[in-house]
């Protein structure tokens, strides 16, 4: 029996999303890049370079047994924590718009938070695949894992990087719950965590403004509500079929830095309802295939990694689309494969490579069953 390769649907869907994403980065950023750098291809070239690096890494990783990769997850987790500490030190990390999130290397930059997302998935999955039974106990089982994600969250908040904190915590909780953690443990944890979250929102002026703006963005459409109001204008003006690629009006700085977290608004304006729906359907296919890989993985490790990687994508899509449609307060959540960002794209494609490798082993399992019978 001929062996099947990795999941074809995941591979093709990712390539389609990546092609659409790069096209939208160019369309959304051309005016902004032309004004800022005198070169409308500035962001396009950099995104293409990172996409090429990411695709090569994805294909290479897809050939390496995920179990071997997972063995290095404790080291990856430690390195991620060290980098999150170093990025906050002046002279080592870079402060951009009041946030310490980047290491700058000439024309390129690197966000250690992107490595931390992948590291927490691999580390949790690797450890829980061996100690899942201990999750039945709160102090001995669950608390040590909460301490790990707590350290990462604390370092992310120091940057500050609130959206990454939400994402890392959400993915960690999903993996823990999938591995067998008791739901009433999380309910007990929510009692102190929810007031703490409210405290963080109310004690930071910019977070409080975002919350008040969400409640009524049109109350101050020229200041605090400027971004979300123009996002809604972009989505609404796209109509059914859109204005056409490159024809966005809102990208002319009505949406600040339109190639970043609000790029879905530009996509909806230029591609219309049909185009925006197609993008969401592609994400839905990717999430569905990721869940399928998790269900058919040959072992607990593969299943937990698949759950983590799939939830990482799903949470980002849900939050990003909710933000740009004013369904939740504004937070800087990127849209996978679309939002401009080199290290984010590269690490995401590495994660897809691991998912593809797990799917290859799923096929091995089915092949062996067929040969047996």
Q: What is the DSSP letter of 94?
A: E
Higher per-residue confidence, 256 vs 48 = 48
Least confidently predicted of 19-33, 219-233, 280-294, 311-325 = 219-233
**Mean of pLDDT over the chain:** 88
| Rounded Cα–Cα distance for residues 123 and 131 (Å) | 12
Q: Which two tokens stand for residue 309?
A: 């990687």
- Contacting residues for 302 by C-beta, under 8 A, at least 6 apart: 66, 67, 293, 294, 358, 361, 362
> What pLDDT band is residue 5 in, cutting at 50, 70 and 90?
confident
pLDDT in tens, 322-339: 999 988 887 888 999 999
Q: Which pLDDT belongs to residue 204?
A: 66
| Rounded Cα–Cα distance for residues 253 and 257 (Å) | 7
Indicate whether 131 pLDDT > 80. Answer: yes
Higher per-residue confidence, 337 vs 343 = 337
Q: Which pLDDT belongs to residue 214?
A: 74
Indicate whether 1 pLDDT > 50. Answer: no
Q: Which pLDDT belongs to residue 84?
A: 94
Q: Where are the domains of the chain?
A: 8-372
User: For the sheet containing 99-105, what is the strand order?
Assistant: 94-96, 99-105, 108-110
Phi-psi region of 319 (alpha: psi -120 to 50; beta: other; left: phi over 0): alpha
Indicate whether 207 pLDDT > 70. Answer: no
| Rounded Cα–Cα distance for residues 213 and 218 (Å) | 8
Are the C-beta atoms of 94 and 100 separated by less than 8 Å?
yes
Q: Give the whole-number percent of the chain exceeding pLDDT 90.
A: 62
Per-residue pLDDT averaged across 283-311, rounded?
96
Indicate whether 215 pLDDT > 80. Answer: no
Q: Which pLDDT belongs to residue 163?
A: 87
Q: Is the pTM of this model over 0.85?
A: yes
Per-residue pLDDT averaged across 188-216, rounded?
73
Bridge partners, 110 (sequence order): 103
Q: Which has the closest alpha carbon to 330: 163, 114, 166, 204?
A: 163
Q: Which has the closest alpha carbon to 113: 161, 70, 43?
A: 161
Strands 99-105 and 94-96 turn out to be: antiparallel
Q: Which pLDDT belongs to residue 192?
A: 78
Per-residue pLDDT averaged across 10-19, rounded?
97
> What pLDDT band is residue 31 in, cutting at 50, 70 and 90?
very high
Q: Which pLDDT belongs to residue 79?
A: 96
Q: What is the DSSP letter of 126?
A: H
Can you state the angle between helices 8-37 and 342-372, rounded to 10 degrees? 170
Per-residue pLDDT averaged across 99-119, rounded?
85
Q: Which pLDDT belongs to residue 100?
A: 84
Q: Which pLDDT belongs to residue 12?
A: 96
> What pLDDT band is residue 27 in, cutting at 50, 70 and 90?
very high
How far apart are the two ends of the chain, measured CA to CA in Å?
12
Per-residue pLDDT averaged across 5-26, rounded?
94
Least confidently predicted of 7-21, 109-123, 174-188, 356-370 = 356-370
pLDDT in tens, 227-267: 889 999 999 999 999 999 889 999 998 888 899 999 999 99
| Rounded Cα–Cα distance for residues 48 and 180 (Å) | 41
> What pLDDT band is residue 9 in, cutting at 50, 70 and 90?
very high
> What pLDDT band is residue 368 in, cutting at 50, 70 and 90?
very low
- Ranges of H-type helices in the chain: 8-37, 42-61, 66-70, 73-86, 112-131, 143-158, 162-179, 183-203, 205-215, 226-237, 263-296, 300-324, 342-372
Q: What is the DSSP letter of 90?
A: B
Per-residue pLDDT averaged across 85-108, rounded?
82
Least confidently predicted of 116-125, 165-174, 329-338 = 329-338
> What pLDDT band is residue 4 in, cutting at 50, 70 and 90?
low
Q: Which has the closest alpha carbon to 176: 118, 131, 112?
A: 131
Indicate whether 2 pLDDT > 80. Answer: no
Q: Which two tokens stand for residue 187?
A: 């309910």
> What pLDDT band is residue 109 in, cutting at 50, 70 and 90?
confident
> What pLDDT band is residue 72 in, cutting at 50, 70 and 90?
very high
| Rounded Cα–Cα distance for residues 86 and 112 (Å) | 9
Are the C-beta atoms of 5 and 360 separated by less than 8 Å?
yes
Q: Which pLDDT belongs to residue 189?
A: 78
Q: Measured on CA atoms in the order 189, 332, 286, 74, is the torsion positive or negative?
A: negative
């Amino acid at each position: 029996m001929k062996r099947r390769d990795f999941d074809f649907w995941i591979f093709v869907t990712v390539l389609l999303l990546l092609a659409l994403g790069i096209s939208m980065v160019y369309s959304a950023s051309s005016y902004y890049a032309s004004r800022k750098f005198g070169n409308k291809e500035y962001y396009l070239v950099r995104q293409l370079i990172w996409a090429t690096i990411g695709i090569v890494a994805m294909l290479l990783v897809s050939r390496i047994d995920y179990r071997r990769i997972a063995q290095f997850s404790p080291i990856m987790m430690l390195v991620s924590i060290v980098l999150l500490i170093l990025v906050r030190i002046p002279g080592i990390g870079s402060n951009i718009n009041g946030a310490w999130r980047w290491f700058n290397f000439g024309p390129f930059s690197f966000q250690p938070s992107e490595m931390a997302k992948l590291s927490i998935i691999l580390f949790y999955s690797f450890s829980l695949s061996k100690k899942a039974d201990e999750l039945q106990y709160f102090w001995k089982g669950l608390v040590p894992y909460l301490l790990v994600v707590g350290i990462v969250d604390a370092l992310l908040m120091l940057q500050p990087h609130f959206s990454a904190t939400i994402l890392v915590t959400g993915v960690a909780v999903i993996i823990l719950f999938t591995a067998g953690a008791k739901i009433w443990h999380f309910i007990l944890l929510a009692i102190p965590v929810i007031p703490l979250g409210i405290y963080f929102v109310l004690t930071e002026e910019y977070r409080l403004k975002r919350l008040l703006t969400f409640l009524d963005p049109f109350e101050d459409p020229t200041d605090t509500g400027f971004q979300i109001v123009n996002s809604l204008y972009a989505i609404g003006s796209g109509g059914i079929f859109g204005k056409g690629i490159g024809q966005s009006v809102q990208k002319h700085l009505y949406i600040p830095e339109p190639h970043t977290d609000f790029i879905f608004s530009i996509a909806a304006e230029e591609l219309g309802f049909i185009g925006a729906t197609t993008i969401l359907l592609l994400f839905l296919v990717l999430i569905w295939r990721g869940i399928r890989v998790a269900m058919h993985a040959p072992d607990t490790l593969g299943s937990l990694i698949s759950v983590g990687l799939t939830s990482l994508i799903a949470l980002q899509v849900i939050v990003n689309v909710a933000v740009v449609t004013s369904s939740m307060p504004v937070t800087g959540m990127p849209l996978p494969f679309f939002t401009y960002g080199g290290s984010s794209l590269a690490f995401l494609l590495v994660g897809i490579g691991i998912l593809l490798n797990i799917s290859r082993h799923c096929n091995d399992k089915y092949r062996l069953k067929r040969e047996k019978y």
